[in-house]
Amino acid sequence: MARLVEYKDMAPRAKAVVDGIAKARTIDPAAINNVWKALARHPDVMERFADEMRAAFAPGKLDPLTKELIYLAVSVANQCDYCIASHGAMARKKGMTEEMYEEFMAVVLAAQKGNKLVMAYRVPVDAAFEDQ
């Protein structure tokens, strides 16, 4: 298991990253979640990931909940327990209801099935899908 660094014990570079996240989420930096406490020992990776997350979740054409659902879909496909737990919580905070979650899971499971089907039956891509 990762050795976690509490906010008060973080080096300045790590603290700066957490400060940015805490401010954006309007939470106490000391309440930052474990992934950042683990990353605090790896400042290059930490800064790059924080930057990539900030850019990915910056306001844009897709609303915040849709982005969380995309993140969660990838995490379920990749079977990342931490990400499922943390981004499931995020999705709920951003408005995912139980009904939405049921629909989300229905699509994820249909996709899983579709993915394996077309591989198992070795389906060639339609010409119509090549021209985009």
Name which of residues 19 to 78 contact a copy of itself (CB under 8 A): 33-35, 38-39, 42, 44-45, 48-49, 52-53, 55-57, 60-62, 66-67, 69-71, 73-78
Q: CB of residue 11 vs a copy of itself: minimum separation in angstroms?
A: 13
3-state secondary structure of 132: coil
Shortest Cβ distance from residue 19 to a copy of itself (Å)? 19
Position of tokens 């850019």? 55
Between the CA atoms of 91, 92, 93 and 94, what dihedral angle is there, to the nearest 10 degrees? Answer: 50
* DSSP for 35-62, written as a single string: HHHHHTT-HHHHHHHHHHHHHHTSSSSS
- Binding of a copy of itself by 6 (CB under 8 A): no
Q: Which of 3, 6, 8, 21 binds a copy of itself (CB under 8 A)?
A: 3
